[in-house]
Amino acid sequence: MDTDITQTTPVNSQPATSTVRWGSVALFILFAFAISWAIWLGLAALGVSFTVRVSIGMFGPALSAVLVRLIRREGFGDAGLRLRARRRKGAWRMYVAAYLVPPIIIALSIGFVILVGLQHWAFAQNMQAMGTAITKALSSTGQSLPKGFTTPQLVVIDLVAQVALAFTFGIPFNMIFTFGEEFGWRGYLLPRLAPLGGVPAAILTGVVWGLWHAPLIILYGYNYPGHPLLGVGMMVVFTVALGMIFAWLRFRSGSIWPSTLAHAAINAQAGFGALLLSPADSLLRAPIGLIGLVPMIVFAVWLAVTGRLRANADQLAPTIKPASL
């Protein structure tokens, strides 16, 4: 768990001994990419399903962080494992923000693409398509509708279950996997880059995070089907904007748990766009295409220009010199 640090000095006021340890950063990135990519590609060769291998690979950054901390003898004092840093005012509010900000941003994204005419409200059509899919699935297995139920009733039950899970049990379940990323990205890389300043650290962390997804996008069309190369660039735009929001949660709370919570909420609720809207190009649509990302980007820029992306002393890497590579 974190050691008790009580200073709250901004990054730019840190003593000269607080410098970026580029050797540690490079080693972490190398391990994170190698571990996750090996899992994704190796399990694909073994015929493991996409969802399973992606979920397992999410633990690559966490494993990388553990390995580098041990190899470089850096300890875990800045890992953010406490629920909040001591004497951090308003830290608990970050948990409320972590729960509320994702659905608000997704709702704004949906509203924005409708406003500009990129997509339109298609809830009824999507429900009809869901009913057709349920009927076909039952027919293909030789089953019939449960006694006393109609197809529209099953669609409503399925919809209510999806929405309920996305705001309740789906979030803590997803946190099991998003911790695998957040312990690496916000628990290790962000504090190591924090001496550069909160905004540059958040942006660089977001770039690395986005590029880490490259094999999934290039080979399997993850998030941006049909755009293997532009999809990687779009993913970087998305992770930089989202990474700035997660950095705000991390810096203000002194903990990785708010960003882990928000990451889980995003994963659980991102499908609402497909549920409510008409189809559109994956590079543009809500909530993670370029047009759909406008509300998130605006919020991220606001956090930066209002000085909310400043790390405190307890979020910088300890100044004890680590072992050499």
Quick check: pTM over 0.75?
yes
Residue 146, preceding peptide bond in cis (omega within 30° of 0): no
* Of 196, 219, 195, 180, the residue nearest 65 (C-alpha): 180
The ranges assigned to domains in the chain are 11-315
* Of 65, 70, 67, the residue nearest 80 (C-alpha): 65
CA–CA separation, 33 and 45 (whole Å): 18
At 134 the pLDDT is 82
Is the distance from CB of 256 to CB of 89 less than 8 angstroms? Answer: no
At 320 the pLDDT is 42
pLDDT digits 0-9 by tens, 108-117 = 999 999 999 9
Q: Show pLDDT as tens, one digit a residue, over the chain (325 residues).
A: 333 333 333 433 333 347 999 999 999 999 999 999 999 999 999 999 999 999 999 999 999 999 999 999 999 989 999 987 766 777 889 999 999 999 999 999 999 999 999 999 999 999 999 888 888 887 887 777 787 778 888 889 989 999 999 999 999 999 999 999 999 999 999 999 999 999 999 999 999 999 999 999 999 999 999 999 999 999 999 999 999 999 999 999 999 999 999 999 999 999 999 999 999 999 999 999 999 999 999 999 999 999 999 887 655 555 444 444 4
At 313 the pLDDT is 61
Q: Quote the distance between the C-alpha of residue 28 and its chain's center.
A: 18
DSSP3 helix / strand / coil % (the chain, rounded to 5)? 65, 0, 35
Task: Count other Cβ atoms within 10 Å, centred on residue 136.
Answer: 10
At 138 the pLDDT is 78
DSSP code of residue 6: -
C-alpha torsion 158→134→220→263, nearest 10? 0
The first and second tokens of residue 203, run together, are 């942006």
